[in-house]
A and B are shown apart, each in its own frame.
Chain A
């Protein structure tokens, strides 16, 4: 794989900051933004391409961690939201698609989801695939 260029690293940095700002918890948000900034600044002058690639890979993994957090937190808030609304109130449209199915998919990042569909019994929209 070709070594990451400066532009790619900057894109990654910007993407990470963008995702981090979506944390709804003040402490997590400020920590993520601060830590990302400090980490990129600290490694600003690294020259060795192998080391750069290692750092970039780690950063990509962390970006995925944050992205998954955003997904799962949306679902968690949707769940709470679901519990707290009276049944007469219509669910906002963006949540109609949300279900544990998406959560399961987003968390199954280590394996191919071949057998995943067999176990999706926790859908909120009433669909039970089993």
Chain B
């Protein structure tokens, strides 16, 4: 889904709290380290008994929520300090805490702002407001010998953090004679060239960096994957020398590009057991999903008006269905069981005589559940309904065969299988022929189904990625399963009240979605700042609603807000998993210490029995 940590931090919520913490009634905004339940369970009762009961909490709670906040704030500021963010308390809306001695505005010493190259340039003690400009000016403004690890900025700094990471990665400096940077804080970020297992230090002649460029560990492979070096190797000639348009028929440039494109088509087809003529290259799985759903529905619109999909599909599928509803189609959104898997009986019951398409994704990108594709294919072919599956997360990771599983349409994404971004493919069955109305009109390329010049380097990359995936599937699967097992076992044995979302058995091991009770997901993500992770809540939504997938599987609101998705891929190492586990345990424990709900649970109070009041 490509969600990333947004800048909508709780303390910048528009209903931010003046002194006394009047929480907006019914606001779904989340607060610091406290689980969402604290707010959502507020009821408007003004029963005097309850008020006196709440008085115990109420009188203390309000300032207490922030006297807690003082301790919390210390911890928060420690985290912030470790992150080298030069934030003063004022910037992120804790003005009301200034009166409480401890949390006065702080100014960070300048030296903390940079990875120590021994040199400090530029005064950067003040949080910088005009961030977009600063970002542009960054390479020149910083000058040589300097490698800003984090950008100083306002607390809406998560996106800036990412920008700063990117900048830091790009800003490879080679100032002569700088001191090699050792991470001074003992915070083990990306190991870079100081990897303990690498006996040979980085080749300094080839890469004259002054020190390692520290980047977070990447544990978000469901969002995207790094390019496999073998894929890059395959692509580069077509980016440098062999740049012809594959549809040019009159010269060698065109012929060689076309040959490469057809070779890539064969590679993609052989991964899924298809014929090369059934593969159409697109710009990604989103476009493939659009072609599949809208194309099939519109082609058969005269006779068939009904489609079936599930509630846990990717946004592009759900959105395509919604736009078809506006065109007059009916769509059934099948619910899923608590395990995340659909009920086959419900599917059978939902198929009507005028159903044209059933769309069920193979592996869910949020919770990693594998749907019973073979059984669904069987049902659909027996009822003469086309079966489309969004296999973006599954292709190259689990064995798929379009003939064995009776799949009629399949979407493939390049950047989920260690290929380049911006390319994908759709498999459209020829026997029996599935007719699709083209969405994109033009010169009739790709059998008229997707006009437009085929991007040779990208499709060559996709083909190479598919070939590598086919060779490495077994090895990767075994390894990823082992790492996933390790991660889950280590977390579960050290922390109570951790729930894994999704069926544990029909599950792709590389996608692990865990809910940590009494801990708020966003603050955990903020705390795990040196690991790139994703959470279950929809960051794009301003109301910080939990993900619809988690809602569909029936997770409680509070657990849905505390979910984190761990992604393990081909390049993930055991050390990365161990580090993530260790940090996760540490921060969950810390956040739980700050949580009043956790205290109540420890005292044996049943949270469901509490009547929260509004004040």
Contacts and interface: CB of A to CB of B under 8 A. Distances in A.
Interface of A: 18, 21-24, 26-35, 38, 62, 65-66, 68-70, 72-74, 77, 80-81, 83-86, 89, 92, 94, 103-104, 107-110, 116, 119
Contact of A72 (B197, B236, B570): B236
A30 B197 contact: yes
14 contacts: A18-B200, A22-B200, A22-B202, A34-B573, A65-B229, A74-B206, A74-B207, A84-B171, A85-B144, A92-B208, A94-B205, A103-B240, A107-B237, A107-B240
B230 A65 contact: yes
Given A81-B173, A107-B237, 6 more contacts: A18-B200, A21-B199, A30-B195, A30-B198, A77-B172, A81-B174
A24 B203 CA distance: 8
B396 to A, nearest CB: 16
Given A62-B230, A80-B172, A84-B171, A104 B202 contact: no
A27 B226 contact: yes
Interface string B174-202: 11100000000000001111010111101
Q: Is the interface of B mostly helix, strand, loop or mixed?
A: loop
B172 A84 contact: yes
Nearest to A95: B208
A26 B192 contact: yes
B129 to A, nearest CB: 25
Contacts of A31: 570-571
B283 to A, nearest CB: 25
B216 to A, nearest CB: 11
Contacts of A29: 195, 198
A35 to B, nearest CB: 8
B241 A107 contact: yes
A89 B176 CA distance: 10
Contacts of B241: 104, 107-108, 116, 119
A92 B192 contact: no
A22 B572 CA distance: 18
Interface residues of B, number: 41
B233 interface: yes
Contact of A69 (B192, B233, B240): B233
Nearest to A122: B240
A86 B144 contact: yes
Contacts of A35: 475
A85 B573 contact: no
A31 B418 CA distance: 13
Contacts of B195: 26, 29-30
5 smallest beta-carbon distances between A and B, as pairs: A27-B571, A74-B206, A21-B200, A65-B233, A22-B203
Contact of A66 (B190, B199, B229, B240): B229
A22 B206 contact: yes
Contact of B573 (A27, A70, A84): A27
Nearest to A111: B241
B144 A84 contact: yes
Contacts of B170: 80, 84
A77 B206 contact: yes
Tell me which of A29, A65, A92, A103 has the highest count of chain B C-beta atoms within 10 A of its own C-beta.
A29
Given A21-B198, A65-B233, A80-B172, A26 B190 contact: yes
A26 B198 CA distance: 9
Contacts of B171: 80, 84
Interface in B353-399: none
A18 to B, nearest CB: 8
Interface string B549-587: 000000000000000000000111100000000000000
B233 A24 contact: no
B172 to A, nearest CB: 5
A28 B229 contact: yes
B514 to A, nearest CB: 23
Nearest to A42: B475
A14 to B, nearest CB: 12
Contacts of A89: 144, 175
A35 B139 CA distance: 37
Nearest to B205: A94
Nearest to B171: A84
Nearest to B230: A65
Contacts of A32: 229
B232 interface: yes
A52 B173 CA distance: 45
Nearest to A74: B206
A15 to B, nearest CB: 13
A21 B20 CA distance: 58
B281 interface: no
B363 to A, nearest CB: 22
A85 B174 contact: yes
B143 interface: yes
B577 to A, nearest CB: 12
A79 B241 CA distance: 19
Contact of A86 (B143, B203, B206): B143
Nearest to A86: B144
A72 B207 CA distance: 11
B218 interface: yes
A109 B176 CA distance: 35
Nearest to B170: A80
Nearest to A32: B229
A81 B172 contact: yes
**B191, B206, B230: most-surrounded residue (chain A CB, <10 A):** B206
